[in-house]
Chain A
């Protein structure tokens, strides 16, 4: 029999310090525990996954409304409604009402009722902007960004423009901000290993091989395509360099699967009902 050790990736000591002002997971159960230290938080997280999320306990909109209004609900950062409300809705996204949540923002629907992974919601809460660790204030429409956008818009061709103007950007330090090159971390099968089995050093790697090709094949699935011709809004390569993770300013090392995200996804899976 297997023993699972999950040490929450959250910074326990920080929660201990903040415990007076925030209740982690306050929206979960009446008897929810106030995280005090590592062990307690870990058990708490495990308990929520086991007894609420995996058991698909019905989630009401009221709970979602609470999450949207709570600081640190999805990792350290201000409540969603601070920047997404009816008076000021960044990217047209108003998260202060159920209608707003269902309407979405300038980049499409926020949630797709019945489909927890659909819409911009999950990726906005999980996907770190690249290069990993880049400041959210770094502009996302620099000349280099637009070169990539253009290339995707114009059919992701393996042409002279790609070779001369696009490909070199991924191996240039700071091309999209920060100090690292994309190919420092995404460079095909070699030692040390690449993140996401993603190879940004060739056209074939970017366009044909994509991400997680070996791992997804193990599950009988095709690789994750990171670019789609003419569809930057679907292309992770573009989204990862242009979209900030939410709540704005959250650190890239924050847990990518906080249980509140799964509560939110369950609500969506259950139909995203406004009651």
Chain B
């Protein structure tokens, strides 16, 4: 269906209601939708800081850890020296030395763990840590954050996207983007059928996952994004799949998957470093001092929580800045700030349920096993720290 116009006319006089004019396939509908106004910061609950309960501290073979990948009972990690697997009770299950440092979070699929840095990539047997195969970038070349899906490892090498068999490392296909620009951020797989990629040439590509041929490409023009960072698939208000993508700078986009058309755009006012999508909701921090949650179906704000309050009048404590990507469990969002405070927010309304001071310098990530009782954080010294949470 080609034509879908959606225009929101909000009247200053009535603050809650917007008249939404929908012209759908030529048929005009008049509907009234309420885009809830965010509650003012003073109405959002704040927790009092309390010391965190440390349930375990285990040294890894690294001094600089990358974000972990956690499952219900295991932690997969990498850093400057090794890749490792641990159980959630502090037992190291294996450790494998890396040829070059890892710069990205390890990815896992079907028993294969991909550990990558800008210089090289290793595919490991996730049960044993045994190296299945390696790939090294040439002298001045640089690898992107990798993707593992549908039995393939897909990774950018400068302006080439390359696919390898996840088990054997056999090179299956390569795809060159239009201009000689860097692919830095990971592609995403759509229904194990396409690869979607928004590299540094300003295009969005859909590529056949099996043979690397181009399915469609959308040049968004100068006024949209330079490249897309994290990509997530969710569903729009009509139950259709939608790509939720972060622009390089201040914008988040909802993009139609069948042709790359932008459905909605949210302007955040400063860099959005990373956003996370869970159950058709997206969460991110903006250096303008807010944690936002949007409904990815239409880009509407669900709530926002003030993190950086310079108005003495409000009496709210200032939080640190955020580098760590926000993480969600079924009920809450975990937000670890750069002052080593772990904030736990209610997913439904942004209320802060708990605020834990971590007694160590943390790296910028959190990971959860989904039990609502523990989270894992990395220390600046390369330890895994198990933190108890209770909300």
Contacts and interface: CB of A to CB of B under 8 A. Distances in A.
Tell me whether A and B are bound partners.
yes
Given A132-B287, A189-B118, A252-B287, A214 B10 contact: no
A211 to B, nearest CB: 12
B265 A4 contact: yes
Nearest to A8: B269
Contacts of B66: 190-191
Contacts of A5: 264-267, 299-301
Nearest to B253: A2
Interface stretch (B82-90, B208-216, B317-325, B349-357): B317-325
B142 A189 contact: yes
A25 to B, nearest CB: 14
Most chain A CB within a 10 A radius of its CB, from B10, B118, B269, B299: B269
B181 A17 contact: no
B365 interface: yes
Interface in B209-231: 222, 226-227, 229
Given A6-B267, A189-B118, A191-B145, A13 B103 contact: no
B270 interface: yes
Nearest to B288: A9
Contact of B321 (A133, A188, A190, A193): A133
Nearest to B186: A191
Nearest to A190: B103
A2 B254 CA distance: 9
B99 to A, nearest CB: 17
B321 A132 contact: yes
Interface string A141-155: 000000000000000
Nearest to A14: B311
A43 interface: yes
Interface in A1-37: 1-9, 11-14, 17, 33, 37
A11 B321 contact: no
Interface in A191-225: 191-193, 195-196, 213-219
A154 B290 CA distance: 41
Counting chain B residues whose Cβ lies within 8 A of the other chain, the interface size class is 35 or more
A5 B182 CA distance: 30
Interface in A100-140: 132-133
Interface residues of A, number: 49
A38 B271 contact: no
Contacts of B364: 184, 192
B273 A193 contact: yes
Interface stretch (B37-45, B50-58, B126-134, B367-375): B37-45
Interface stretch (B1-9, B164-172, B189-197, B382-390): B1-9
Contacts of A251: 289, 308, 310
A49 B237 CA distance: 29
Contacts of B248: 214-215, 218
A185 interface: yes
Nearest to B325: A192
A3 B103 contact: no
B187 interface: no
Nearest to B118: A189
A17 B311 CA distance: 11
Contacts of A13: 40-42
A40 interface: yes
B270 A76 contact: no
A180 interface: yes
A197 B10 CA distance: 37
A179 B380 CA distance: 14
A240 interface: no
Contact of B301 (A7, A43, A216, A256): A7
B331 interface: no
Given A43-B10, A195-B273, A218-B226, 4 more contacts: A190-B104, A214-B182, A215-B226, A218-B181
Interface of A: 1-9, 11-14, 17, 33, 37-40, 43, 76, 132-133, 179-180, 184-185, 188-193, 195-196, 213-219, 251-257
Please name the 9 residue pairs, one residue from A and one from B, whose CB atoms are nearest each other, closest first.
A9-B269, A253-B289, A218-B226, A251-B310, A190-B103, A215-B226, A9-B288, A13-B40, A214-B200
11 contacts: A4-B265, A5-B267, A5-B299, A13-B41, A43-B12, A189-B118, A191-B66, A215-B249, A252-B308, A253-B308, A256-B270
